[in-house]
Structure 1
């Protein structure tokens, strides 16, 4: 049986890293457009997108900001544009869905359970901050949690899936999140094909160990059979090793500055495209082909770029 080509997702900026962590983190709509187009040209077939306030880089749910970059990226690439529904800590479900409901994209992310997403250890490593909001934001992750209740999951499935025809990147930070998804499938809230994103190495979620990656995959196989797509997102220094392991197991990969600011030990990535090029080189040297956006649309049964709202 011929092995499938590997889908590369690139997560451009996210909402958790702060501007003081890297001068290369895209902030403005122009920067997000440039980084997204370059990542797509480097081989990413899915571009995962958040927005930031261009004045100070804080996470933003403002649909107007998303609309400053979404049409421009679509105009310049054929990549699948995947919008966040997670937003950032502290955002309400209506804030998190404001931009996706306005844009009606082919794909969105969907976090499959609440987590303690601990970013606060970064405070011990950082000496200076560009903006006053950063220390409070990072410190707040010690006392707060990321609310992805069953009510919120159901709301996103109905509002984005049933009403807009979007497919989901199901973000699973721990084994229990796979069981949450199985419950939602049992309730007939979503039908396949499934695209699972195993998230490893975030403080508060499952660790970035090969045994844990195998556990996530085998659990998914028990719950969903063999007919699903899966990818791995590994935080920080675990990014490239875990992506390589996952591809060898038959899965897909996700890179980008949302997940890791580095390109090598002790070296900041100067762009998202640098990370895409690196994982693509590794995959091609292992004789894997890279999936095109049109292959992704077919494999994930996406509605097509002609049916989005931007």
Structure 2
């Protein structure tokens, strides 16, 4: 008898640090907007909420714990979704800045980029004629000459101070096949233990391209390195590749991530008005595939999380 498919975890990445206000009027910028988008996404079926913060004055990315404190406790009051705080922040932030709020909150889950890399959307600057804020255009253009830093020592430090000392588990963000091997290195060193939550990312300039064949390569490589029983696979398709790659990933037994951090659109030429619209769309697709959607409690059990009672909001 065939094994019943696992429930599918939907992660929603609400705002991120890559897109800028001029790219969409619907991008959540203020604490109120981020909270509302997060809560509505959870109501629509997102079990995990991946969170960044922004300066409410101009929408620029920030790691300020005071801003996070205007967001996270309010989300916690309105939903039992797993709250996942970025440790990536942005390419402009130091490691200390990126870890400031995670170390204060000690959340159930944090994201963790599995290597240093070129990470850029600088060609997007050529498509924007009118900018709302002065910081936006240089912020995008300078990405051509910036590197996102996460060295082996940086990753080891994050695993120690957040994982070992705080009981936080990780959304391991893997932008290329080499990042899976980095993850395997830390497993071999005994610094991480299954179940791993691997977020495979496609379509970012500097990372693995959005070809469907690459999804199969990431899945098969993870199987060889970890054994399918030891990890949960998830798929992030950037921009216009979001829904097609997520659908393919779900068919292959994976989980999915949506949200305005990853794509500003709902369909070709149609901007998403909020994150919940994307959650609703992928939920419909999963339903058509006869796949069940994981609740927040399902996700906690599947990923071995410590539970929200262990987090002081």
- Asked if these proteins are the same fold (TM beyond 0.5), I'd say yes
Distance in 1 between residues matched to 2:43 and 2:183, nearest whole Å: 33
Match of 2:189 in 1: 187
How many pairs were matched up? 310
Distance in 2 between residues matched to 1:262 and 1:157, nearest whole Å: 34
Match of 1:61 among 60, 63, 69: 63
Contact 1:243-1:253 within 8 A present in 2 as well:
yes
SS at match of 2:284: helix
Match of 1:127 in 2: 129
Match of 2:260 in 1: 257
Structure-to-structure mapping, 1:67-216, within 5 angstroms: 67-216=69-218
Cα deviation, residue 67, structure 1: 1.0
Match of 2:233 among 230, 233, 237: 230
Distance in 2 between residues matched to 1:5 and 1:232, nearest whole Å: 14
Distance in 2 between residues matched to 1:103 and 1:20, nearest whole Å: 31
Which blocks of at least 5 consecutive residues in structure 1 are unaligned? none
Distance in 2 between residues matched to 1:31 and 1:118, nearest whole Å: 26
Contact 1:20-1:129 within 8 A present in 2 as well:
yes
Match of 1:16 in 2: 18
Distance in 2 between residues matched to 1:286 and 1:176, nearest whole Å: 31
Contact 1:102-1:309 within 8 A present in 2 as well:
no
TM-score (norm 2): 0.98
SS at match of 2:122: coil
Cα deviation, residue 114, structure 1: 1.1
Distance in 2 between residues matched to 1:42 and 1:216, nearest whole Å: 29
Is 1:273 equivalent to 2:276 in the alignment?
yes
Distance in 2 between residues matched to 1:278 and 1:226, nearest whole Å: 27
Cα deviation, residue 309, structure 1: 2.4
Is 1:248 equivalent to 2:262 in the alignment?
no
Is 1:299 equivalent to 2:311 in the alignment?
no
Is 1:290 equivalent to 2:293 in the alignment?
yes
Distance in 2 between residues matched to 1:243 and 1:302, nearest whole Å: 24
Distance in 2 between residues matched to 1:140 and 1:198, nearest whole Å: 25
SS at match of 1:176: helix
Match of 1:36 in 2: 38
Report Cα offsets for 1:139-161 as digits up to 9, x if no partner. 11101111111111111111110
Match of 2:27 in 1: 25
SS at match of 2:70: helix
Contact 1:196-1:229 within 8 A present in 2 as well:
yes
Distance in 2 between residues matched to 1:51 and 1:118, nearest whole Å: 20
Which structure 1 residue ranges, 4+ long, deviate > 6 Å from structure 2? Answer: none
Cα deviation, residue 119, structure 1: 1.2
Cα deviation, residue 277, structure 1: 0.2
